[in-house]
Structure 1
Amino acid sequence: MDPLPTPQTQQGRHGLAALLAQPRTAVIGLDFDGTLAPIVADPEQARAHPDAVPALAALAPEVASVAVITGRPADVAVRYSGFGDVPGLEHLTVLGHYGAERWDAATGEITAPAPHPGVAAVRAELPALLERAGAGQGTWIEEKGRAVAVHTRRATDPQATFESLRAPLADLAARHGLIVEPGRLVLELRPPGMDKGVALTEHVRTTGARCVVYAGDDLGDLPAFAAVDELRTDGTPGLLICSGSTEVTELAERADLVVDGPEGVVALLRALAAQLG
């Protein structure tokens, strides 16, 4: 059995104790890429850690809800994770596009608003912008339906290319009413008004949860960390978990508990399921 690690902070220990004492009142929020799934060079090849679904199937029935909150479209996250038609996942929800889309395992249905028109406009202009910026070699565009992302991981100098594209992509996004969400060697252009913090807070309130756990690995998870901090200030115990990496350190500095990437996240989920089952 995987041991249950001890959070480094008092707030984290309080959050874990609250989860163990009253699991049926707890929401467990999880990022997908870098948290449940290892980061890979081609995002279309990303898949959940092989032990993630069994761990979640064991854990989900013991808590109020498990919510996977991701920038990916909800149907893509469901497909890449293998969540469809898995017994035990009836309490699992996928909040795609930072919460703009919702998939519930109990029904298998996706609900979503109409797409933002700025995404199509940005998509049309991006190839020429990248060519003008001299960023074509090794840089590629990921179509995300309600957003579009530019990856630099395959560039000759991934970090320099990433930094050089920040300003022109921010200008392009602003002209079409979008924002830029930076991540691990990726810049995503998407509609404003929704982020992982908003999505997590709304889900906690909707479920009536009295305890919240969130695990993430990237800059896009910082709003969710901030949301947990705000909920803790309001009296809701919470636990912040960082799926550790060398590419992003901000989350590790703010987390109550740092684990070793998706392997560590899955081990923690298994340990929680064993403790609660």
Structure 2
Amino acid sequence: MDPLPTPATQAGRDGLAALLAKPRTAVIGLDFDGTLAPIVADPEQARAHPDAVPALAALAPKVAHVAVVTGRPAGVAVRHGGFAGVPGLAHLTVLGHYGAERWDAVTGTVSAPAPHPGVAAVRAELPGVLDRAGAWQGTWIEEKGRAVAVHTRRAEDPEAAYEALRGPLTDLATRHGLIVEPGRMVLELRPPGMDKGVALSEYVRETGAEAVLYAGDDLGDLPAFAAVGELRSEGLPGLLVCSGSSEVTELAEKADLVVDGPEGVVRLLRTLADQLD
């Protein structure tokens, strides 16, 4: 059995201790891309790490709830994660589109409000905006239903294309009542009002959890980190885990524990499951 890593902060050590002491009252929150699934050039080809579902299936029955909190549509995350119909994942919830959509393993259905009208307007104007910015070649538009994202990872100079598009895409989003969510070589235009912090906080309070672990890798996970910090200030122990990468360092600076990408996250989940046997 692998030993559990020791968090670098006292708050993190307290969070881990609380999870181990009372796992049946703990929520495990996890980002998808970059945390459970390796980052790939084409997001449509992203799949959960091959050991992620077995690790989750081993851990989930030993804690109160597991929630995947993602910017992807909930149904897409379920398909790409391979979460449906897995024994042991009966208490899994996927909070998609930053919590605007919800899939529960018990029912196997997705619930969601009506889409924001600004998304359709942005989708129609986006090709022209990319052309005028001179950043069309190599960029890729991802349709996300309730949002739309522009990826620059396949551009000749991904970082230059990313920076060239930030201003024009922010202007476009603002005109239609949306916001821009920056990420790892991706700029997502989506409705305001929901983020991973709001989604995680609401889920923790809804479930009555007494401890929380959250693992993420990207800028979109910063609100969830902040939410755990707020919960800790209210007396609820929490552990912040960063799925480390060289592309984004902000999370590592705020995390209690940094692991080596999705493989490290999966190893942590499996070790927690073993420790709770």
- After TM superposition, the score normalised by the length of structure 1 is 0.99
Structure 2 residue identity aligned to 1:148: V
CA distance in 1, matches of 2:274, 2:140: 42
Partner of 1:239: 239
CA distance in 2, matches of 1:60, 1:159: 38
State how many pairs are aligned: 277
User: Which secondary structure does the structure 2 equivalent of 1:180 belong to?
Assistant: strand
**Are 2:247 and 1:218 aligned?**
no
Partner of 2:121: 121
CA contact (8 A) 1:6 1:257 kept: yes
Partner of 2:253: 253
CA distance in 2, matches of 1:109, 1:115: 17
Superposed CA deviations along residues 223-246 of structure 1, whole A, max 9, x for unmatched, are 000000000000000000000000
Q: For 1:188-227, what aligned pairs fall within 5 Å after superposition?
A: 188-227=188-227
CA distance in 1, matches of 2:275, 2:43: 34
User: What stretches of structure 1 move > 6 A for 4+ residues in a row?
Assistant: none
Superposed CA deviations along residues 12-57 of structure 1, whole A, max 9, x for unmatched, are 0000000000001101100000000000000000000000000000
Structure 2 residue identity aligned to 1:139: T
User: Which secondary structure does the structure 1 equivalent of 2:232 belong to?
Assistant: helix
Q: How much does 1:91 deviate?
A: 1.0
Partner of 1:18: 18
User: Which secondary structure does the structure 1 equivalent of 2:18 belong to?
Assistant: helix
Q: For 1:258-273, what aligned pairs fall within 5 Å after superposition?
A: 258-273=258-273
CA distance in 2, matches of 1:116, 1:2: 46
Partner of 2:151: 151
User: Which secondary structure does the structure 2 equivalent of 1:3 belong to?
Assistant: coil
Structure 2 residue identity aligned to 1:79: R
Partner of 2:230: 230
**Are 2:174 and 1:165 aligned?**
no
Q: For 1:17-166, what aligned pairs fall within 5 Å after superposition?
A: 17-166=17-166
Q: How much does 1:59 deviate?
A: 0.5
User: Which secondary structure does the structure 2 equivalent of 1:240 belong to?
Assistant: strand
CA distance in 2, matches of 1:137, 1:25: 50
CA distance in 1, matches of 2:238, 2:202: 15
State percent identity of aligned pairs. Answer: 83
CA distance in 2, matches of 1:113, 1:61: 30
CA contact (8 A) 1:2 1:270 kept: no
Structure 2 residue identity aligned to 1:235: G
CA distance in 2, matches of 1:260, 1:218: 14
- After TM superposition, the score normalised by the length of structure 2 is 0.99
Structure 2 residue identity aligned to 1:60: A
What stretches of structure 1 of length at least 5 have no aligned partner?
A: none
Q: How much does 1:2 deviate?
A: 2.9
Structure 1 residue identity aligned to 2:98: Y
Partner of 1:5: 5
CA distance in 1, matches of 2:63, 2:112: 25
CA contact (8 A) 1:2 1:268 kept: no
CA distance in 2, matches of 1:246, 1:182: 16
CA distance in 1, matches of 2:259, 2:140: 30
CA distance in 1, matches of 2:21, 2:227: 22
CA distance in 1, matches of 2:33, 2:66: 16
Superposed CA deviations along residues 137-192 of structure 1, whole A, max 9, x for unmatched, are 10010000000000000111101110111111001000000000000000000000
CA distance in 2, matches of 1:145, 1:135: 23
Superposed CA deviations along residues 180-209 of structure 1, whole A, max 9, x for unmatched, are 000000000000000000000000000000
Structure 2 residue identity aligned to 1:175: R
Superposed CA deviations along residues 38-82 of structure 1, whole A, max 9, x for unmatched, are 000000000000000000001111111000000000000000000
User: Which secondary structure does the structure 2 equivalent of 1:205 belong to?
Assistant: helix
Q: How much does 1:3 deviate?
A: 2.3
CA distance in 2, matches of 1:83, 1:117: 30
CA RMSD of aligned residues (A): 0.5
User: Which secondary structure does the structure 1 equivalent of 2:174 belong to?
Assistant: helix
CA distance in 2, matches of 1:129, 1:37: 31
